[in-house]
Structure 1
């Protein structure tokens, strides 16, 4: 314990308190991401997370009340990364509906499978966990709102009800598509899956 205390004192010597807390929080989130992404929810405990990032348990409770709150932070980080990439891909695709649909599908599937830990956090693990379930529902709603905003910008004459129906179908289908892709049920040819999904989804979009 003395060595741990001494090492911590040396590590954070001269670092402002707020910066120390931010760094410790980031280390806890990264450790939880690794544990959850490789072992699932069962692998995430206060002891396991603190051991993985070499922090005392008191630092865990400095940032989080429990592991559920920590998992929420993990989900938020991964979802923010996906959102950033998705918006960039849609912007690069221009105003063509088919190209935007293709870009969105490819980005979600590629992001989720390029690092399997991301897909596990976003789509496939702990679907019964109330914190993650709420986060996933909020993310799906945000995605639907983004689709509606994008379509309002590129196709302002579309009937609002039709637009909402199309956006709801697209976002719901994307969640199921991602789960099937990550499970390996659709094979390993990303280009083929994106082509088929684009063909099937495009007619149902606004």
Structure 2
């Protein structure tokens, strides 16, 4: 392997380790030593890949956002061009994809907050990506409300985040289908005139 390939391979191992450890026991409890042990690399090799735990969390969070958006856009592209169909496809796929692996849900909706101020920018970029996705799929449809769609999208993201936090933290989590139907109901009531 070339030095670049070795570095890329170590980065991937660290991201995989962070995916496991940042979701359980969580970001604050995960040390660089634990990450290195799980990834089977030295502490020195860690710092060749990332400046610290926060930069690793940013890389992991960005990857989770990218994969989720790609999955959501793919689902939306496969349905008829109506507000109801777009909302149902986008919301269903978002929640389905995120809950498919509890670690993803926990990283996207809990651990990024627990990481603190160092992840504010990463979190804001993720929210902006989802706001853009909502607006892009709603704004041009005649049945969409004329209210401030940016603010509505932010509100919808907040509602879905709280539903997913409830799902992650609950000893008896609500069924995923209930999360989906609730989120679709909220979206339809908010965006349809």
Alignment TM class, shorter chain as reference = 0.7 to 0.9
Root mean square deviation, CA, Å: 2.3
Residues 99-138 of structure 1 mapped to structure 2, 5 A cutoff = 99-125=85-111, 127-128=113-114, 129-138=116-125
- Check 1:157–1:34 CA distance in 2 against 1; reply closer, same or farther (3 A cut): closer
Conservation of the 8 A alpha-carbon contact between 2:91 and 2:180: yes
Other structure's SS at 1:169 match: helix
Q: How many residues align?
A: 191
Equivalent of 2:153, from 164, 167, 170? Answer: 167
Conservation of the 8 A alpha-carbon contact between 1:98 and 1:198: no
Q: 1: CA distance between counterparts of 2:183 and 2:104?
A: 21
- Check 1:162–1:186 CA distance in 2 against 1; reply closer, same or farther (3 A cut): farther
Structure 1 segments unaligned to the other structure (5+ residues): 1-14
Conservation of the 8 A alpha-carbon contact between 2:127 and 2:157: yes
Deviations 1:23-76 (A, max 9, x none): 111111111111111210134221111111111111111111111111111111
Matched, 1:152 2:134: no
Equivalent of 2:184, from 182, 185, 198? Answer: 198
Other structure's SS at 2:78 match: helix
- Check 1:193–1:50 CA distance in 2 against 1; reply closer, same or farther (3 A cut): closer
Structure 2 segments unaligned to the other structure (5+ residues): none
Other structure's SS at 1:93 match: coil
Structure 1 residue 109, shift from structure 2 partner: 2.0
Q: 1: CA distance between counterparts of 2:93 and 2:118?
A: 25
Deviations 1:147-173 (A, max 9, x none): 1122234449864x5333432322222
- Give me the TM-score of the superposition, normalised by structure 1: 0.82
Equivalent of 2:175, from 182, 189, 194? Answer: 189
Q: Which moved more, 1:150-159 or 1:110-119?
A: 150-159
Looking at CA atoms only, which structure, 1 or 2, has the larger radius of gyration?
Answer: 1
Residues 61-100 of structure 1 mapped to structure 2, 5 A cutoff = 61-100=47-86
- Give me the TM-score of the superposition, normalised by structure 2: 0.86
